Structure 1
Amino acid sequence: MARGCRAALTSGAALLLFLASVLPNAAQDMRPAAFARIPAEPIVAAAVLLALPRRARLWVAGATGAGLGAVTVVNLLDLGFGEYLGRGFNPVLDWGLLDDAHAYLVDTMGRTATWVATVGAVAGAVVLVAATGAAAVRLARLLGHHQGAVHRGALVAATAWICCATLGAQWAGVPVAADRARAAVEAKAHLVRWTLADEAEFAKEAGTDPYGATPADLLVPELRGKDVVFAFIESYGRTAIEDPVTAPGVTGTLAARGEALAAAGFRARSGWLTSSTFGGSSWLGHSTFLSGLWIDNQQRYRTVTAADDRLTLTKVFQRTGAWDTVGVMPGVQKGWPEQDFFGLDRVYDAFELGYEGPKFSWSTMPDQYALEAFERLEHGRERERPLMAEIILTSSHQPWAPLPERVDWDGLGDGSLYGPIEAKGHRPAEIAPSAARSKEEYGRAVSYSVTSLTEWLERYGTDDTVLVFLGDHQPLAKVTGPDASRDVPVSVVTRDPAVLSRISNWGWTEGLRPGAAAPVWRMSAFRDRFLEAFGSVASG
């Protein structure tokens, strides 16, 4: 019995270290062939440990095994980030995003289940590192008793590895010779070095602004007297328009709403922008669009928002002195010091829009309500100057359950009527685990948001209203698939033909749906193109 237990422990230790050595860090690589490989790391470790005295051998084995466990934890983080954000984990920048992941899980699973999952994940990581360390020590102890057999086994394994690597041997398209752990460490080390170097380089770039010193009277002179609204629709990506599951509903909505707007005298032009983010971190897309800088990580975001001399697209209107500037941000539920950077005289957060109804998962209120509140509090008021507004619409935020429904605009009140709608909707746990159902509900959510925004424009827009709306990023990779672009639709809608004539050379598609061949710009290019189109003069 005892001998059998020892043999089982030894076999388990060897299996654990083997799996840790070959574990892929991307979901699409998780297939049987990935685990039918010869890892180089255990072969090298065995050779090194055999050359060490017993005490040093155990210490080195424990440290090496624990290090392999830490690499495995990072690989698992890569898997999670790839599934949701379409990229790997950045060990310098991404720890802060774990708080956002926790908040998302609270909205999806509930607070108790989230805390259980969080404690389990942390405990699991600690146990994994300790287990790989202990497994390495156990095997190291056996090396001294079986040195001859280990020498021969390592020599055979090394020869097989070298032959497979030299010949390029593969099974099911996967190289048989593996060095996954080493490659993972090297890749993360390179990423860390690049991230640290990028901070200084980006700070210089952010400090150079061709419109930074432009006199106020030379900024957007062709928009004077217009109410200008920049609206972001959460997760409104190219997938919504082109995916076979989501496209029929979304493109149908765009067509129907385009016809309704046309009947009300509005015309639209649409194109594509490549977002700096994917699947989440919406603020990176917002700041990229408004600042004219490529902001694809939290470090860059902190750098640019701390600067005083970067002129954001929204701040342009504030600097002219010719507009009142406001932000409508129902997703903001805490202090937001970036208000000054974005040039907003007043910001309405989740607690200042008068909403008394239920949350819809992550979204604090339905988009239709937020837009009606904007009309009541700002757009519909008598004012001495025109209005520039930045509006963040959140109803299409994952997990797309439960979803609000369109209601009569005159009956919105304080939002209490949404109680029964929220109660009868799907629960996040019903939708989030299924890619197919997530796609379906995602399409419904985007249609709802587009409908809410365009109905607001149809209902309250005037001859002097200019609406620019776009997606901030694509939805998570579970919905888009692993190889999706980062493109999002962008549209300019107005009754004034002179406004559209200013962008006639952009080559955009007529209507709310950008054509497949419409130009694709980096999102950071929009600010300067917009400023130039409406008469702004660069200062240098």
Structure 2
Amino acid sequence: MSLSPEQSGRRLRAVPGGVRVLLTLLLLNGLFLALDIPRHAGPGPGWLAWEAVVLAGLFAVLPPITARVLERVVAAALLALAVLALFDALARVSLARPLNVYVDIGLLDAVFRLLTGNLPTVGVILAVAALLAVIGLAVWALARPVVPRGAGFVLLGAGLAGLAGHAVGVEPPRTAAPAVALVTEQVDGMREARREDRALAHRLEEDPRLAEPRPLEGLAGVDVVVGLIESYGVSALEIPRYAEVIEPTLEDLQQDLAAQDLHVVTGVMKAPVAGGQSWLAHATLLSGVAVRHAGQYRRLQERERATLVQDFAATGHHTAMLAPAITLDWPQGRWFGWDRILDRDGMDYRGPPFFWVTMPDEFSWWRFEQDVRPDPQGGEAPVFAMLALVSSHAPWTPVLDVLDDPDAMDDGRVFHEQAGAGPAPEVLWRDFDRVRDHYAEAVRYSLEVSGHWARDHVDEDTLFLMPGDHQPAALITGPDPSWAVPVHVISGDPDLLEPFRARGFHDGFELPPATGDKDIPGFEDLRDWLHEDYTERP
């Protein structure tokens, strides 16, 4: 039988005042401390939230009518903070960085749908309902004065003193101000993003290298192919549980390449993003400008600018972009000026999709070699191409078998045989250890089929770059990962690799010795590297 508000109030008043204060403070304190969970990837070091002490004192000293009004204000504020903390947690898990509302407002829905699409819907709904119930109960109880006003002033004073101490960094141990920290982090993030935006705008206006195409004479007549391996970061080779799956494949590829008199060097570069937003990594690599969020992406495309696409076109290359994940109209892609863009429909794939993955990477490489690499005009123009591979994109299920048989590929219908392979995402993602295992296998698959393309089609007139596009989500890497990715470069001409060796790349597929993130060159450096190092054929 449900109780009326009057009956609930009588029962509350029947509880001794000290107990009511303690219970209410504990409930409210727990809510505020929960706001700290995203920043610490678990419970924070604080045991007492000063905001809870301030509110307990404030409600005690206010007249009942004012307290009722404040009750609704506090409930709304707590709900807003809880939602902010929730999306902060999602951003840290999926993008490996804190939420920045200023730059991420357009991504919140996509991030939420991506993660909830891989988790049980009922569980998500129950968690949200429980959060709302706890917030409502805490504020309703707090709005009923339960201590003398004198004690309320003591609580209020202590809480304000604690917040002041927090502001100057002299607060007692085991105390925190989670709500203040959460809001401050957003304000600081907005200021930093606006500073970066101003710096980018200045460079786009003032840097002459961004205005006109610059031919790459040293790569004239050379096919330059960039095959971006989705979610392939240095963690894949540094964390033992992934390395033990991936390194044997790289060792086999090393032997296969050597048997074909092909050479490989490996280095690391820093992607502008982690966990997702691959298009920002693509734009950074092509433009020579660090593009870290959607606003900067839009600013880059406000007017015509030169990128590697125009540079290679000026060198005499046919340019092509293969983007099998693109399923809608893509005007942003056309801005780069590719001679040809093959999206999902343009790939003419008739096999099954595999959840988020529209088609296997092995098919993408086959389609590239069949329809793109040959000069479409019937001549001998070299190609500059980028392939945004997708098989190692979350949710990492299913992991396909490698066919390694071009004659069987046709239009992709052969992959129907593997359509039911592997668990559905909502099943797989109930066990994060299995998710991590599937991640390693998915990256292994993408590296294997990309390496097989290199084995069969790279020659002395080909420069093949095989970088990761970004690190995977923090669920895979752990908190606060490096944003570096492996970059493998393969060619039949060892001289074409010499400039990369001079930049610190090592022979083979092994990563060079680790350095601090600040010393790792970024994707934005690649365009200048090519111009500095390939003014003539090495």
TM-score (norm 1): 0.86
Q: Distance in 2 between matches of 1:164 and 1:258?
A: 55
SS of the residue 2:266 aligns to: strand
Q: Which of these residues, 11, 35, 39, is aligned with residue 4 of structure 1? A: 11
Q: Which moved more, 1:237-246 or 1:159-168?
A: 159-168
Structure 2 unmatched runs, 5+:
none
Q: Which among 369, 372, 383 is matched to residue 366 of structure 2?
A: 372
Aligned to 1:452: 449
CA shift, 1:49, in A, is 4.8
SS class of match (2:276):
coil
**Post-superposition shift, 1:323?**
1.3
The aligned residue for residue 90 of structure 1 is 100
Per-residue deviation, 1:508: 0.9
Aligned to 1:337: 331
**Contact 2:237–2:247 at 8 Å: present in 1 too?**
yes
Structure 2 matches for 1:154-303, cutoff 5 A? 154=156, 175-213=173-211, 219-303=215-299
Per the TM alignment, residue 53 of structure 1 is displaced from its structure 2 partner at its CA by 4.7
1:533 — aligned with what? 533
Q: State how 1:420-435 maps to structure 2 within 5 Å.
A: 420-435=417-432
Task: Specify whether residues 60 and 452 from structure 1 end up closer, same or farther in structure 2 by C-alpha distance, changes over 3 A only.
Answer: same
User: Is 2:319 aligned against 1:308?
Assistant: no
Paired position in structure 2 for 1:140: 143
Please point out which of 71, 94, 98 is paired with 2:81. 71
Distance 1:163 1:336 in 2: 51
- Specify whether residues 184 and 164 from structure 1 end up closer, same or farther in structure 2 by C-alpha distance, changes over 3 A only: closer
- Alpha-carbon deviation of 1:157? 6.9
| Further displaced range: 12-21 or 237-246 | 12-21
Deviation at 1:447, TM superposition (A): 1.4
Shift of 1:342: 2.2
CA deviation after TM superposition for structure 1 residue 134, in Å: 7.3
Give the aligned residue type for 2:28.
L
Instruction: Report what 1:440 is aligned to.
Output: 437
Q: In structure 1, how many angstroms separate the alpha carbons of the residues matched to 2:160 and 2:458?
A: 73
Large movers: runs of 4+ above 4 Å? 5-16, 30-34, 46-54, 116-121, 152-170
For 1:318-338, what per-residue CA distance to the aligned partner results, in whole angstroms no more than 9, with x for missing partners? 244x11111111011111112
- The answer as to whether partners of 2:350 and 2:411 remain within 8 angstroms in 1 is yes
Cα shift at 1:137? 5.4
Cα deviations by residue, 1:295-323 (Å, 9 ceiling, x for unpaired): 222211221133322x2222311244x11
Counterpart of 2:466 in 1: which secondary structure? strand
CA distance in 2, matches of 1:156, 1:493: 65
- Provide closer, same or farther for how the CA distance between residues 528 and 117 of structure 1 changes in structure 2, counting only shifts above 3 A: farther
Does the CA contact (< 8 Å) of 2:281 and 2:469 recur in 1?
A: yes
In structure 1, C-alpha distance between the alignment counterparts of 2:475 and 2:418, rounded to whole Å? 27
1:142 Cα deviation (Å)? 2.0
Per-residue CA distance 1:5-24 (angstroms, 9 max, x = gap):
67799787655432222224
Give the drift of 1:501. 3.1
* Contact 1:66–1:133, Cα closer than 8 Å, also in 2: no
Work out the percentage of aligned pairs sharing the same amino acid.
Answer: 30
Which string of whole-angstrom CA distances, capped at 9 and with x for unpartnered residues, describes residues 276-298 of structure 1? 11111111211122222222222
Q: Tell me, in whole angstroms, the C-alpha distance in 2 between the residues paired with 1:517 and 1:153.
A: 51
Cα distance in 1 for partners of 2:382, 2:468 equals 25
Q: Separation in 2 of the partners of 1:477 and 1:455?
A: 30
Alignment partners' CA distance in 1, 2:211 and 2:388: 29
SS at match of 1:325: strand
Q: SS of the counterpart of 1:254?
A: helix
Relative to structure 1, the CA distance from residue 178 to residue 184 in structure 2 (aligned partners, 3 Å threshold; closer, same or farther) is: same
**Does the C-alpha gap of structure 1 residues 166 and 274 become closer, same or farther in structure 2, counting only changes over 3 Å?**
closer
How far apart in 2 are the matches of 1:265 and 1:504?
18
Q: Residues 373-393 of structure 1, C-alpha deviation per residue, up to 9 Å, x if partnerless?
A: 111111145434211111111
Closer, same or farther: CA 105–178 of 1 in aligned 2, 3 Å = closer
| Matched residue count | 519
Q: Which residue of 2 aligns with 1:150?
A: 152
Aligned to 1:245, what secondary structure does the other structure show? helix
Distance in 1 (CA, whole Å) between partners of 2:291 and 2:167 is 40
In structure 2, relative to structure 1, the CA distance for the partners of 1:18 and 1:334 (3 Å cut) is same
| TM-score, normalised with respect to structure 2 | 0.86
Contact 2:90 2:111 (8 Å CA) reproduced: no
- 1:416 aligned onto 2:416: no
